[in-house]
Structure 1
Amino acid sequence: MDDLRPGDHACLTYSDAEERLDIVAAFVRDGLGAGQKVICFTDVGGQVDVANELAERDVKPANGGQLAIRDNDAAWLSAGRASATNMIEMLSGELETAHRDGFAGLRVTADMCWATRPVAAVDELLVFETRVAGLFADGRLTAICQYDRQSFDQVTLAFAAKAHPRAVAAAVYYEDPLLRICRQHAPPGIRLAGEIDYRRVPELNQALAEALRLGGDIHVNLTHLTFMDAAAAAALGQAALSLQPGRAMAIVCGRAVRKVLDLVGVPDQPAVRIRLAHGRP
């Protein structure tokens, strides 16, 4: 994400919904800050969810219709069918509208899952990804196409990766079947999912050290962490102690993890703010 530039056409393949939303939020926030028009395409009924998730990640759209969240079906399907020609014409029209309205450019991010429905044609999606390159030539259009690894077959995923000049992903500090530690883009910090104990404290410290170097408050997302031992909780406490005055560590977690944090005294530190994740045990 940090290396994405105007005119880039990038592919995001994901299996973690939270990671996907973090990257999308960072993409949207950067576009708004650059004075670009931003359009997010999502599933029918998902517009409100996307708006809420962006707000949860501190994405605050400016006035004047700079950010639009639109339904996939209405945008990509015509008479129940996908047409690469129609999709390219639609994007070309949006690009010209953004230019006419005085925006610095157009950013588009789209969840491509609509192509997996029976009424859609995956072959038209492949044609679209091949032919759309011409719209990026002058640097006014920047786009991220989102591909869910659980929805698309491996052949389509491989084609998508090849068809896009760039790829975006979260920085992963550690991953195995039980634990994933990665960078969180928005708000900036780290995210842990699974289970962590004393054996993975070095990897946790590595992730925390980078977050400390970034400056500002550190956000530690433990929403999907189901187990944490005292050693890992103590590592968070040590990182919080090293914060300079004026900086804070914001932790979101479930009740089980909160109990461990309480046990080692993490919430007692003035720089620490803890919030329980809604609906998490």
Structure 2
Amino acid sequence: MSLAPGDHICALYRGQEERDQLITPFFADGLHEGQACVFLAPEREGRAFRDRLAMSMPEGRLACAELQVKPPEESYLQNGTFDGDSMLDLLYSWSHGTFAEGNSNLARLAADMSWAQSLVRPAFTDELIRYEARATRWLRAYPQIGICMYDLDKFGGDVIIPLVKAHPRVWLNGMVVENPYYMGPDEVA
């Protein structure tokens, strides 16, 4: 799989096992190269993923300790609700700090978006789509790769189709492809 700094990818999968199969090599490669790696996922799932990742890496637990896990309450749902502007402020601040310190030449982030399932309503979905479209600007502002992961068992076409359009690249069945339906931040209503 060919990924480059600035990539904003919508990964579609079914179930936690397939999610983990997709992002394990993504994070393993980054940790092996000493890159900053962040997994936005519920703490319990993040710890379990960190253990699975450790078993897949020659360096084991030592390298996996470098994987930061941030639960939705510390990221997407900081004040108990989703605010795309606040989330982008948090992400810009994290990137600025990460690269200003010179500790990494590339950052890798993956976000399990399952936290959003219970919030899906038209107004929320519109805000999430606007956020995803603007996240491309953030990812391109620093040397980083971002993967937004949507479980097809949790989200229907009414959510997935517009969200896919907010990502320049799509990852499906192990393949990352350019998205011919991509609508940039200025095109998303």
Q: Distance in 2 between matches of 1:32 and 1:153?
A: 33
Take 2:20 and 2:154, find their aligned partners in 1: how far apart are those partners? 17
| Corresponding residue of 1:210 | none
Residue 105 of structure 1 deviates from its aligned partner by: 2.2
Residue type of the alignment partner of 1:168: W
The answer (yes or no) to whether the contact 1:135–1:141 under 8 Å persists in 2 is no
Paired AA for residue 132 in structure 1: A
Distance 2:54 2:63 in 1: 15
Indicate whether 1:76 and 2:79 are aligned. Answer: no
- Alignment check: 8 A CA contact 1:107 1:143 kept: yes
> Which whole-Å CA distance do the structure 1 matches of 2:147 and 2:61 have between them?
19
Choose 45-54 or 145-154, whichever is displaced more. 45-54
1:123 corresponds to which of 117, 121, 126 = 126
Residue matched to 2:47: 48
- When Rg is computed on C-alpha atoms for both structures, the one with the higher figure is 1
Structure 1 residue 110 displacement after superposition: 0.6
Structure with more of its chain in strand, by fraction: 1
Q: CA deviation at 1:62?
A: 5.4
The structure with higher relative contact order (CA 8 Å, sep 6+) is: 2
Task: State the shift of 1:86 in Å.
Answer: 0.7
Shift of residue 31 of structure 1? 1.7
Among the aligned pairs, what percent are the same residue?
A: 26
Q: Which amino acid aligns with 2:108?
A: R
C-alpha separation in 2, matches of 1:54 and 1:71:
18
Asked whether the 8 Å contact 2:12–2:151 carries over to 1, the reply is yes
With structure 1 as the length reference, what TM-score do the two structures score?
0.55
State the secondary structure of the residue aligned to 1:76: coil
Aligned equivalents of 2:174 and 2:74: distance in 1?
A: 34
Could you tell me which amino acid in structure 1 is paired with residue 115 of structure 2?
Answer: W
Q: Which amino acid counterpart does residue 67 of structure 2 have in structure 1?
A: L
TM superposition outliers: structure 1 runs of 4+ over 4 Å: 61-65
2:84 maps to a residue whose letter is A
Alignment of 1:25-44 (within 5 A): 25-44=24-43
Rounded Cα–Cα distance in structure 1 between residues aligned with 2:61 and 2:83 = 31
Q: What amino acid sits opposite 1:105 in the alignment?
A: L
Cα distance, 1:70–1:8 mapped onto 2, change above 3 Å: same
Cα RMSD (Å) of the superposition?
A: 2.5
Point out the more displaced range, 162-171 or 82-91: 162-171
Question: Which amino acid is 1:145 matched to?
Answer: C
- Contact 1:98–1:105 (Cα < 8 Å) also in 2: no
Q: Mind listing any 5+ residue stretches in structure 1 that lack a counterpart?
A: 173-281
Corresponding position of 1:169: 172
